[in-house]
Structure 1
Amino acid sequence: MNFERVNQYHQKFFLDQTLEKEVEKNTLFFETIYKRGELLKQGQIIFDDPLDMEAVSTPYLLNLANLLESPNGDPEWFYMVSRNGYLVDLGILFAYTKEEIYFEVWKKLLFDFIKWQESSPHVWRSLDVGLRLNNWMKSFIYFSNLQDRLTNIEKIKIEEAITKQIIYLKENFPTKNYLSNWGVLAIVGILATAQLLPELVSTEVERWGWHTLKEALKIQFFDDGIHWEQSPMYHHEVVMCVWQLWLNSQYLNLPFEDEIEDILQKAIRASTYYCNQNFGLLPLHDSDAADFTYIYNLYSLSGFLDLEMNQNPGIFYIGKKFEVRDLKPLPTLFSTGESGFLAYKDSNIYLTLFNGRHGSGHGHASLGSLTLKYKGKELFKDPGRYTYMEEPLRINLKEEYYHSSLMIDETPLTQVSGSWTYDSMAEPLFHQAVENTEQVIFEIAWKGNIDGEIVIFKRKIIFLKEFTVFLVINTSEHNGRHSLTTRYQMGDELDFDLEGSNIRLKGSPFVLKGNEQAMIALNNKVWSPKYNESDYYKELTLKQNFENYLVSYECLYPEQEIAIEKIDCYQNKQLNASPDEFYFGLKLTRLKDQSINEYYHSSRDTFLGDKLYISKNGRLLYGKDKFYKEKIGEIE
């Protein structure tokens, strides 16, 4: 086994670094790696890295007994251990501290695992094998003269273990893995080995690997760069593995196919809308609300993103800063396509709305669900995932009841039957997002059925930029007499005052104003900021009855800055105000200067009588959305 490329990689990786300075500049981040290393020296392991797919914040013994029977009862523990990410931690600690103990622990744990993998059936899932090989290759580059640090017998053992895993991955790649994160994660293990230890992977297998990877990536990513499984966590897992292959190619001067790099670039840019302004991950579907600063820092240091970041913790994984490409600035509005994921992010606002296909079993029943952060404060949340075991909270967090969406007669359109299974599923119909100087508009629709009868929902979110006002308009259609429940999963740092149809979000400047007919309630609920962790928050519900068709709306606005007043609208030649479904308006008054803007909405077309409508104050109206800054009669 020839470590020539590993040595070449190592020399270039550390060429322009002053190790002490890098640690000093990123002390807090390095401290987290150091703490994991201290546990490893004691024979224990903890999974608290943001990329740990199934985090465990309790340390457990790292031994064969625990690879045969999970110490916490969750089989995901086996899988996390079998990925061997801890070897990368030990490599980093050795390289940046020069303490030999870390190499000694690394070698012991590597050979322990090589022995254990013959005894434990839990370590032979293809994605875990692929990640394990990738982590082995990453860990190698942190050791200078690795060739001389290992005996011939040790090198033979490593070579045999790698060869066995390469053969396993090639022979255990079902066709379905083309459309699974498992497929990409498995193939990356083969290709990373081919890059660093080329004599261990045949030309035929390497050629198969690159072709299979390209085909898998082409089918797994939507045209807007979002991964089809619709989970920010697994989006990053796939992207980071492909990014590692790209990084290897840069250090080793190896070719990297343009088509794969283009997919990688688009996926990385799309991923910036999967986090808030502080790089906290959106816990949409099976994801955690984890701090992904160092991941986005890696994208930035490698030139895929141009981000202003105060920290550079990614330096421990990338080695040096690459040239920033000729990049266009990221727009505030995500140019959504096939995925159905809509997002807007500026310096203060982070707003998302989901209306895409369900994706894999990692998907939740979240059609029509929105999230919102303002100046770092979470107003409407997604509740996370908690566990992959068949527990009540796991099922609850996947249900429509735990998302900020709509439900008729308390009957979900997507029926969750288990941790990974469903009895029925709602279907997204359309989605669009537009932005102009005055406003951002998200508009979506989805459908399902209840007792064989069609249900159609439409949801429109209008963000009026100048006023920092959010208007959520819901259209519900279901023949007969029914009740609509509108749900908002509220930020766990908020408290509330209820006053009529107004709900004050204490801890923020906002009031949420609902329909006067709605019955408002606050419910205690549990959410999961991280796998295996839970906390409490409040859910806000607004419930109202209707027959056949209902237009309802909520308005979120800063109470100390803006006054909101409804404006009745009239069909031409009619004396009574029209129902809200045909036309209603809102007057927004900015308190500091008494300037007034008006917004009008019509959710359905008029086919009886005139199509012209007139507001109470004399505004002539036609069309779905109208926004006016000028006064009536004013010449623009």
Structure 2
Amino acid sequence: MARKVERSIYDLIDLSIEGLEQVEKAVQSNMLDKAAKLLKEYYIFRRSPKLFLDDSEKQRLVNYSKENFIEDIKEVIRVSEEVSKNTFVFRFPWDMEKTNKPFTFKNKILWHHIPFEDEEWAFMLNRHRYWISLGQAYAVTGNEEYAKTFCKQLEGFIDSNPVDGKWSAITWRSIEAGIRCENWMKAFQYFKYSPYFTEQLLIKMLLCLYDHCEYLMSRYDNFRHISNWGVLENHGLFEASVFLSEFKESRAWREESLRRLKTCAELQVLNDGVHWEQSPMYHNEVLHCFMDVIILGEKNNVIIDKAIKDAARNMAYADLYMAKPNHHQPMLSDSDDTDIRDMLTEAAIIFKDGTLKFGAYKNIDFNSLWLFGTEGINKFEEIPISVPEVLSVPLESSGNYVMRSTFDEDAKYLLFDCGSIGGGHGHCDMLHFDIHAYGRDLISDIGRYTYVEGEPLREYFKSCKAHNTTIVDDIDFIKCKGSWGYEKVANAIEKLWISKENLDYVEGSHDGYIDLEDPVYPLRRILFVKPYYWLIIDSFQCKKEHSFSQYFHFTPGEVYLDSNKQCYTNFRAGGNVKIVPLKKDDVEARLQNGYYSKEYNHIEDNKVLCYKTVQSGFTSLINVVYPYKAGEDNNIIMGSIQVYDNLNNAVEKNIAEAIKIELPCNTEEHVIFIRHSCGIADNNGTYQTIYTLDNTKVSGEIVLIKKSNSSKEVIVIK
């Protein structure tokens, strides 16, 4: 049997390639043991293709890591010790479905096993990312136990999991196959010199990678044009095609994978650089794949289409703009609370871009070091840092709008979401916003927690009520159907963005309630009066009676609701936030228990504030959201001001209203005018667009009046 396996690989490889002449002679002489040894020597010492790790500098990377990445080395050794005992806990920063409970296989690994009733565990197991850590630990320590573990597990997987085997639905799901190609290729570079990595194991690995390529070639369809699956699968196909460059089919694999990746880049990445599925987690998985392809292509003089490079660069810029002040991605849709500086470090090196470097680590990180080598250190250091030209950014194609006070880590930051739901990873979050200030998340998306079909918390975490948005009649404007589908979707409408030096303004709506017997049109307007606070203006156009609710989800910690229906946090360090409702007499205020999940498989308790009112016809709910440092005064005062028309008649609040805000410990006073309708006709039929409030005439829809002891400034926003 072994000899048939060996001979089959020589039928697949082009033995006329330089360096394989002796292998060909041994095969022709039926000296298959010798041919296998020669083939292994060739794969160990071949000069091309160039992979991510250069043998000639491995020791330099080890020395640099020992000097600069002590904690990272401890972590890869810890992981390697676990894996060597067949114990698995998936905790890498970009693991798509993290775990917290260790699981140990007492004898051999059953690659199809599903512990904890979540098949995502088995998918994580079959991606083999942990083998790269085994390789790094092996490189640093020289401990052959790590090499022995890798070789035993690799061979065990290959022997027990043929592509058409009994458990292939789990072990050969197509995205795992694509991810494995990358991880196997990178792991091989660490272990190829080990005596445990025999010529027979090499042949098994090569043949199995051949099966991966043929399998991935057969799996492409229209779904993969627009799904992250198409990118994850075909980046693996491309990397395997480079690694298996001696195989007769390698050129066809490479050309087809690049053609598919070009199509994916053109269709999946919106004009603003955001992946259309609207999940930062999968946005960054796709970005990682594109960047790996670019790096490997440049190393081997393979032309990578401009569409792929442009998509990767635009995605990196979207990361830069959307990153919270603590450098983490927002937890929108199916996303975890993950630091993205490694992504921006990699992108800065690839594109030699100082603006991307601004959002990256100050020095090259551990994984980027092993990806780029010592040359990457020099490249990164040589890039001059450029501060982004704008603070607040509208990512209009995806409907994500970012307001920030500065680029400092204690900055005030708000992300407003008014875009399409995306694919199955999307959540029912139109009009949702996140707030981060003074170094911590305050009001936030609560995450994803699980993908388990039928788990009630899966649907809750995706639901409208699980987001900082508005609800009419306790009816979700988007309705989920199971873990991945939808019974009803809504469209984002009426979006507008205005940004000035001293303020940002955004508005958006959706059509999720037009199917009600009495249709309701929700509108959310957010004004950031820099650098102090946000004004949240929610209004609902309708004719009959409805209930209207606002939801605010806090991060875990102490949250209180006082007798004036003002809600505030008491976090012991960093930032806090206070929410002050304008119409406290008209709303019911409830502070209830909720959930918060900063990563997959992790859940905490949190508090959820709900303001609810029942009104007929046009209704507005207005709140000040005021962030402040722990221990500082939060006594912000807000009240209504009567608005008058040109004939000095009081204007109804469904037409226009105004509020006065007094800031704590500040001599400045703000008056904000809000027009809800386009104007009114006076008794003479003259159309009125000029209003008077607080002894000031204004014209416009949103007007900010700033007053101090000596001056008054009128700013027409819209």
TM range (shorter): over 0.9
Report how far residue 8 of structure 1 moved: 6.5
CA contact (8 A) 1:471 1:555 kept: yes
Give CA-to-partner distance per residue, 1:72-128, whole Å, 9 cap, x none.
Answer: 221112211111111111122122333332222221211111112224321111111
Out of 301, 304, 316, which is 1:268 matched to? 316
Change (3 A) 1:634 1:229: closer
Tell me how far apart the structure 1 counterparts of residues 257 and 385 of structure 2 sit (CA, whole Å).
30
Change (3 A) 1:132 1:18: closer
Tell me how far apart the structure 1 counterparts of residues 640 and 366 of structure 2 sit (CA, whole Å).
50
Change (3 A) 1:409 1:256: same
SS at match of 1:67: coil
SS at match of 2:81: helix
SS at match of 2:202: helix
2:413 matched residue in structure 1: 350
CA contact (8 A) 1:342 1:442 kept: yes
Out of 309, 312, 315, which is 2:361 matched to? 309
Tell me which moved more, 496-505 or 280-289.
Answer: 496-505
Indicate whether 1:26 and 2:69 are aligned.
yes
Change (3 A) 1:483 1:635: closer
CA contact (8 A) 1:45 1:59 kept: yes
Report how far residue 166 of structure 1 moved: 0.5
Report how far residue 509 of structure 1 moved: 4.8
CA contact (8 A) 1:611 1:622 kept: no
Indicate whether 1:524 and 2:593 are aligned.
yes
Out of 318, 339, 358, which is 2:398 matched to? 339
SS at match of 1:72: helix
- Mapping 1:116-515, distance limit 5 Å: 116-118=160-162, 119=165, 120-121=167-168, 122-143=170-191, 145=193, 150-200=197-247, 201-302=249-350, 303=352, 305-307=356-358, 309-310=361-362, 312-314=365-367, 315-319=369-373, 320-321=376-377, 322-323=379-380, 329-330=387-388, 331-345=390-404, 346=406, 347=408, 348-389=411-452, 390-449=454-513, 450-466=515-531, 468-507=532-571, 508-514=575-581, 515=583
Indicate whether 1:568 and 2:642 are aligned.
yes
Tell me how far apart the structure 2 counterparts of residues 370 and 9 of structure 1 sit (CA, whole Å).
40
Report how far residue 150 of structure 1 moved: 3.9
Change (3 A) 1:18 1:182: closer
Q: Aligned-residue CA RMSD in angstroms?
A: 2.6
Computing the radius of gyration over CA atoms, which structure comes out larger, 1 or 2?
2
2:613 matched residue in structure 1: 544
Tell me which moved more, 362-371 or 595-604.
Answer: 595-604
2:156 matched residue in structure 1: 112
Tell me how far apart the structure 2 counterparts of residues 64 and 418 of structure 1 sit (CA, whole Å).
35
Indicate whether 1:629 and 2:676 are aligned.
no
Report how far residue 498 of structure 1 moved: 1.4
CA contact (8 A) 2:415 2:435 kept: yes
Give CA-to-partner distance per residue, 1:120-155, whole Å, 9 cap, x none.
Answer: 321111111011111111222334657x87433222
SS at match of 1:597: strand
Partner AA of 1:313 in structure 2: F
Tell me how far apart the structure 2 counterparts of residues 265 and 278 of structure 1 sit (CA, whole Å).
22
Change (3 A) 1:352 1:108: same
Q: Which runs of 5+ in 2 are unaligned?
A: 1-38
Give CA-to-partner distance per residue, 1:516-545, whole Å, 9 cap, x none.
Answer: 221111010122221111110000000112
CA contact (8 A) 1:586 1:599 kept: yes
TM-score (norm 1): 0.93
Tell me how far apart the structure 2 counterparts of residues 599 and 445 of structure 1 sit (CA, whole Å).
21
CA contact (8 A) 2:242 2:250 kept: no
CA contact (8 A) 1:283 1:383 kept: yes
TM-score (norm 2): 0.83
Partner AA of 2:641 in structure 1: I
Tell me how far apart the structure 2 counterparts of residues 352 and 542 of structure 1 sit (CA, whole Å).
21
Out of 116, 123, 144, which is 1:100 matched to? 144
Indicate whether 1:81 and 2:155 are aligned.
no
Partner AA of 2:361 in structure 1: M
Tell me which moved more, 107-116 or 579-588.
Answer: 579-588
Tell me how far apart the structure 1 counterparts of residues 99 and 458 of structure 2 sit (CA, whole Å).
16
Q: Which runs of 5+ in 1 are unaligned?
A: none
Report how far residue 441 of structure 1 moved: 1.1
Tell me how far apart the structure 1 counterparts of residues 174 and 578 of structure 2 sit (CA, whole Å).
50
Change (3 A) 1:163 1:499: same
Partner AA of 1:479 in structure 2: K
CA contact (8 A) 1:137 1:196 kept: yes
Tell me which moved more, 561-570 or 206-215.
Answer: 561-570
SS at match of 1:165: helix
Partner AA of 1:391 in structure 2: E
Change (3 A) 1:476 1:343: same
Partner AA of 2:508 in structure 1: I
Change (3 A) 1:408 1:363: same
Indicate whether 1:607 and 2:677 are aligned.
no
Report how far residue 282 of structure 1 moved: 1.6
Tell me how far apart the structure 1 counterparts of residues 181 and 69 of structure 2 sit (CA, whole Å).
28
Identity of aligned residues (%): 22
CA contact (8 A) 2:50 2:299 kept: no
Tell me which moved more, 558-567 or 100-109.
Answer: 558-567
Tell me which moved more, 230-239 or 264-273.
Answer: 264-273
Tell me how far apart the structure 2 counterparts of residues 633 and 47 of structure 1 sit (CA, whole Å).
59
Tell me how far apart the structure 1 counterparts of residues 521 and 228 of structure 2 sit (CA, whole Å).
32
Tell me how far apart the structure 2 counterparts of residues 488 and 474 of structure 1 sit (CA, whole Å).
13
Tell me which moved more, 321-330 or 352-361.
Answer: 321-330
Partner AA of 2:462 in structure 1: K
Which is strand-richer, 1 or 2? 1
Report how far residue 492 of structure 1 moved: 1.2
Report how far residue 26 of structure 1 moved: 2.3
Report how far residue 12 of structure 1 moved: 6.8
Report how far residue 596 of structure 1 moved: 2.7
